[in-house]
Structure 1
Amino acid sequence: MAEFKNQTLSGEITLDGNTFLNIDFNDAVLTYDGGAPPSFSNCRFNTARFTFRESASNTLMFLRAMAPAETNMRSIVLGLMPELQP
């Protein structure tokens, strides 16, 4: 696990287990594989995008499969992340 502080990062950046403090992500591909969650504080995301691989990708696909209204599980998915609800 690494700590990145007061810098500008671009290109592919692995997120797993890393800490990002006062970072400008410019034209960055932020990649998460499903390991330890990253930590962000006072970061800016400029033309940045996220990619999810390995177990993170599987988890995201699972949540997407549960989310449609016709599954009757949408409230369960939203209940897992109440901070996303208005």
Structure 2
Amino acid sequence: MQTTTLYNHETVMLDGESFEDCEFRSCRLVYAGEAPPSFAGCRFTDCEWKFEGAAARTLTHLKRVWGAGGKTQIQALIKEITGGGGR
């Protein structure tokens, strides 16, 4: 677990990592779809979120579902993710 660390202009691999009270400034945060990372009390400023591997394929799939007429289902999923209800 990374604790109270400042990441500044770095590429940070997120898969399977835990971060607590960390600060990310102008970083590239990369998630490849393995074990999800965890964040507690972290701050993000001007960061780029990059998705590779399985994570990128999942996003591509969701875009295709949206484009094939599944807009309502994807919007419900986003609502569920953001705590706005959903299924």
Which TM-score band (shorter chain)? 0.7 to 0.9
1:78 maps to 75
TM-score (ref. length: structure 1): 0.83
**Residue aligned with 2:22, SS:** strand
Report runs of 4+ in structure 1 exceeding 4 Å deviation.
none
1:53 maps to 52
The CA distance in 1 between the partners of 2:40 and 2:83, in whole Å, is: 22
2:6 maps to 8
Q: Which amino acid aligns with 1:51?
A: K
Q: Which amino acid aligns with 1:48?
A: C
Is the CA contact 1:5–1:21 (under 8 Å) kept in the aligned structure 2?
yes
Is the CA contact 1:78–1:85 (under 8 Å) kept in the aligned structure 2?
no
Higher strand share: 1
1:64 maps to 63
The CA distance in 1 between the partners of 2:36 and 2:83, in whole Å, is: 21
Structure 1 spans left out of the alignment, 5+ residues: none
Alignment partner of 1:40 is 2:39: yes
Structure 2 spans left out of the alignment, 5+ residues: none
Instruction: State percent identity of aligned pairs.
Output: 27
1:26 maps to 25
Aligned length: 82
**Residue aligned with 2:21, SS:** strand
| CA RMSD across the alignment | 1.7
